[in-house]
A and B are shown apart, each in its own frame.
Chain A
Amino acid sequence: MSDPTPSEPQQAPTRSQARSRAKAARTRRTGHVVYGTLGVVGELLITAGVLLFAFLAWQLWWTDVEGNRAQAQVVRELERDPVPSPTASASGPVVAPPRHDDPPVLAEPPHATTFATIQVPRWDGEPERPISQGVDRATVLDVLGVGHYPGTAMPGGVGNFAVAGHRTTYAKPFNRIQELQVGDPLVVRTADTWYVYRVTSTEIVAPSNVSVIAPVPGDPTATPTERLITLTTCHPMFSARQRFIVHGTLDYWAPVADGTPAELLGGAS
Chain B
Amino acid sequence: MYGWLWRHLPGPAAVRVVTLVVAAFVVLAVCFLWVFPAVAPFMPFNETTVGE
Contacts and interface: CB of A to CB of B under 8 A. Distances in A.
A138 B28 CA distance: 23
Contacts of B41: 137-138
Interface string B21-52: 00000001001100010011101011111101
Contacts of A62: 32
A39 B45 contact: no
Contact of B36 (A59, A135, A207): A59
A126 interface: no
Contact of A43 (B1, B32, B40, B47): B1
A135 B31 contact: no
A238 B39 CA distance: 18
A208 B41 CA distance: 20
Contact of A210 (B1, B39, B43, B52): B52
Contacts of A43: 1-2
Interface size range of chain B in the complex? 10 to 19
Contacts of B32: 54, 58, 62
Nearest to A239: B45
A48 interface: no
Given A39-B1, A44-B1, A58 B31 contact: yes
Contacts of B45: 238-240
Interface in A136-191: 136-138
A54 B47 CA distance: 21
12 contacts: A39-B1, A40-B1, A44-B1, A54-B31, A55-B36, A135-B49, A137-B41, A137-B48, A207-B50, A208-B50, A240-B45, A240-B48
Interface of A: 39-40, 43-44, 51, 54-55, 58-59, 62, 135-138, 207-208, 210, 234, 238-240
